[in-house]
Amino acid sequence: MLAYHWTMIFHLLGFGLLCSSVIGSWILGGRYRRAEGWKTKRTILGLLRPIGLLSPVASGVMLLSGIGNLVAKGYEMPLPSWLHVKLAVFVIVLAAGIYSGICGKRRGAIIAHLADGDAPANAETAVVRLDRRLQSILMLQVIALLVIIVLSVVKP
């Protein structure tokens, strides 16, 4: 097998991991929104955490194997413009992922207080705001991933 085959296998494995993380978050996010009671919501968020943690691992695999693809396929500077756009969109996915991690942590802490019955007065409003923000970030990531796939396959 050529070096390019190996880097591409890891690239596609990373892609599978990333899709698992995004789709898993989407499905469990739906369960979380429909769940009744803060204790149930806290349990579901506990399940969401390891799925969310897959995402930075997958992004690292995508970046390293993507650089591997560049080297193994003999790309030279300047890189083609579709790759520039792909990298820019990838950076947006990364930044959105980091922000989503921060918001998710904040939401988890507030929901833990709500479940224990010792949350401050405005806690529920804060949860609604964070829920909406996290949902928008996930939607942005799904769209960005679709753009990356189209760019990678069509290479316009």
| Chain residues that interact with ligand HEM, rule: CB under 6 A | 11, 15, 18, 62-63, 66-67, 69-70, 73, 75, 87, 90, 93, 145, 148-149, 152-153
Position with the least CB separation from ligand HEM: 66
Least distance from ligand HEM to the Cβ atom of residue 133, Å:
21
Whose Cβ is closer to ligand HEM: residue 114's or residue 151's? 151
Least distance from ligand HEM to the Cβ atom of residue 74, Å:
9
Whose Cβ is closer to ligand HEM: residue 60's or residue 120's? 60
Whose Cβ is closer to ligand HEM: residue 35's or residue 83's? 83
Q: How far apart are the C-alpha atoms of 90 and 154, rounded to whole Å? A: 17
Whose Cβ is closer to ligand HEM: residue 98's or residue 149's? 149
DSSP string, 30-87: HHHHH--SHHHHHHHHHHHHHHHHHHHHHHHHHHHHHHHHHHHTT--SSPPHHHHHHH
Q: How far apart are the C-alpha atoms of 148 and 154, rounded to whole Å? A: 10
The total number of residues written for the chain in this structure? 156
Sign of the Cα torsion 69, 79, 57, 40 reads: negative
Least distance from ligand HEM to the Cβ atom of residue 132, Å:
24
Give, in degrees to the nearest 5, the angle at Cα 104 between 143 and 29.
Answer: 60
Specify the DSSP class assigned to residue 92: H
